[in-house]
C-alpha cells in the first residue's frame, strides 16, 4: 500500500519528538543517489517543522568494484565518509544526523557518536517506516530485557531443528535498539526493536542449524533446506548442507578474509509490528530486511565484524541470520521459548 507524504511527515514528526529534537538544533540529513526520495523529502519537512536548522549532505557511493550485490550492507567498513573530512566535520557539528545513506560498522560513525551527535538510521521503504513507528513502550520493553542480557555470563540457544550452542558473555556491551535516539551520542535504527551483545572472543561453541524458512541477510533468501554450522572457538569451522550451504560458503569465501567466519552479535527480536513474512513481499533492492532482523521472538546471530563495540574485527563481510522457533536462555533463565518472548523473565 502506497504511503502519502502526509503520513510520512507525521511519522517523522513522532520519531523526531521521541528523539528529543529541539527548536534551533542542527540536523544533518546524510543521503546518497539511492536514498528514497519520499523519505528524504518528508524528513526534511518534518525537521524544519520542528524548528531545526537542516542541512542535506549527499555523498556518492563507493565499493562497486568490490561488492557482489547492490545491498547497502554487502560491503561494510569503508564508506563514502572515508577520507572525507569536510563531510565528517559537518556531521560532528550537528545535534542529530538522519542517516538515509547507511554508515554501519565504520570508524567515521564511531567518531561522530563520540562527539555527542545522535544518529538515526532510516533506509527502509516508507511502507515499512510508517508501519513501524517507534513508541515509548518499545523502548521500555527493550531496555528491561537489556538489563538481564547485560548481567548474563552465558547464553544457551537450542531449537527443534538441531541448534545447540553456548555463548560466553561479558567482554562486550549490550546494545538496545528501539527506533529513536533520545540521548547524546546514541545510535539507533528505525525500524528496530531488538537487543544484542557480542560473544566473548573464542567463547562460542556448538552447532547452529539454519532451518528451512529461516532467512539469510544480505542475501534476503528464505532457505529451502537446512544449513548446519559447526562453531568452535568463536568461529564457524564448517558449513554443511546442499545448494543453500554452497551459496553461503561461496559468498563468504569471496571476501578472502578469515574474520568473516567469526561469531559477531547475538540477541533476539522484540518488535511485534515487524514480521517474518514481510521479506517475501518486497523486491530485494527495496529493503535491507529490517523486518527479518526485528520480528518478535527470532534469535538473531551474525557473522563478521565486532568493531561496532570496540572489538578488533573489521571485516567487510557481514551476515545477519534470524532463526525461528528457538529457545534462548541467559544463565538458565529462558527469555525466548520456541520463538515466543517471555516478558515475565524481564520483570
pLDDT at 311: 86
pLDDT at 65: 66
Q: Locate 177 and state its grid cell.
A: 535498539
Domain ranges of the chain: 5-131, 136-346
Which 3 state secondary structure label does DSSP give 198?
Answer: strand
pLDDT at 33: 92
Q: Per this entry, what is the length of the chain?
A: 347
pLDDT at 168: 98
pLDDT at 62: 73
Q: What is the pLDDT of residues 121-146, one digit of tens each?
A: 999 999 999 999 999 999 999 999 99
pLDDT at 61: 79
Q: How far apart are CA 331 and CA 106, in angstroms?
A: 32
Q: What is the pLDDT of residues 265-303, one digit of tens each?
A: 999 999 999 999 999 999 988 999 999 999 999 999 999
Q: What is the pLDDT of residues 313-331, one digit of tens each?
A: 888 899 999 999 999 999 9
The mean pLDDT of the chain is 94
Q: What is the pLDDT of residues 37-66, one digit of tens each?
A: 999 999 999 999 999 999 999 998 776 666
Q: How far apart are CA 188 and CA 127, in angstroms?
A: 19
pLDDT at 106: 80
**Which CATH architecture best describes the domain 5-131?**
3-Layer(aba) Sandwich (3.40)
Q: Tell me the DSSP string of 54-99.
A: EEEEE-----TTT-SSS-TTSS-S--TTTT-HHHHHHHHT-SEEEE
Amino acid at each position: 500500500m502506497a504511503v502519502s507524504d502526509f503520513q510520512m511527515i507525521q511519522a517523522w514528526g513522532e520519531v523526531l519528538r521521541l528523539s528529543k529534537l529541539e527548536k534551533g538544533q542542527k540536523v544533518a540529513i546524510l543521503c546518497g543517489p539511492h536514498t528514497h526520495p519520499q523519505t528524504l523529502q518528508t524528513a526534511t519537512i518534518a525537521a524544519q517543522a520542528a524548528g531545526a536548522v537542516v542541512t542535506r549532505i549527499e555523498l556518492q557511493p563507493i565499493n562497486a568494484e568490490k561488492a557482489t550485490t547492490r545491498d547497502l550492507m554487502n560491503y561494510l567498513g569503508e564508506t563514502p565518509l572515508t577520507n572525507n573530512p569536510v563531510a565528517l566535520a559537518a556531521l560532528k557539528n550537528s545535534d542529530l544526523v538522519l542517516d538515509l545513506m547507511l554508515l554501519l560498522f565504520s570508524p567515521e560513525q564511531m567518531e561522530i557518536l563520540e562527539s555527542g551527535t545522535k544518529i538515526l538510521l532510516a533506509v527502509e521503504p516508507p511502507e515499512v517506516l510508517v508501519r513501524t513507528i517507534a513508541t515509548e513502550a518499545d523502548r521500555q520493553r527493550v531496555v528491561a530485557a537489556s538489563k538481564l542480557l547485560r548481567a548474563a555470563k552465558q547464553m544457551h540457544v537450542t531449537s527443534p531443528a538441531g541448534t545447540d550452542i553456548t555463548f560466553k558473555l561479558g567482554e562486550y556491551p549490550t546494545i538496545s535498539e528501539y527506533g529513536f535516539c533520545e540521548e547524546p551520542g546514541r545510535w539507533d535504527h528505525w525500524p528496530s526493536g531488538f537487543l544484542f551483545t557480542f560473544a566473548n572472543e573464542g567463547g562460542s561453541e556448538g552447532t547452529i542449524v539454519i532451518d528451512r524458512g529461516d532467512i539469510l541477510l544480505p542475501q534476503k533468501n528464505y532457505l529451502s533446506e537446512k544449513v548446519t554450522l559447526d562453531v568452535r572457538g568463536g568461529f564457524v569451522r564448517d558449513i554443511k548442507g546442499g545448494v543453500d550451504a554452497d551459496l553461503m560458503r561461496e559468498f563468504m569465501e569471496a571476501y578472502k578474509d578469515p574474520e568473516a567466519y567469526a561469531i559477531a552479535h547475538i540477541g533476539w527480536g522484540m518488535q511485534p509490528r515487524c514480521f517474518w513474512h514481510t521479506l517475501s513481499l518486497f523486491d530485494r533492492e527495496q529493503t535491507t530486511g529490517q523486518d527479518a532482523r526485528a520480528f518478535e521472538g527470532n534469535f538473531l546471530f551474525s557473522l563478521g565484524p565486532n568493531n561496532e563495540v570496540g572489538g578488533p574485527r573489521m571485516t567487510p563481510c557481514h551476515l545477519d541470520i534470524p532463526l525461528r522457533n528457538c529457545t534462548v536462555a541467559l544463565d538458565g533463565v529462558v527469555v525466548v521459548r520456541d520463538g515466543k518472548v517471555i516478558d515475565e523473565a524481564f520483570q
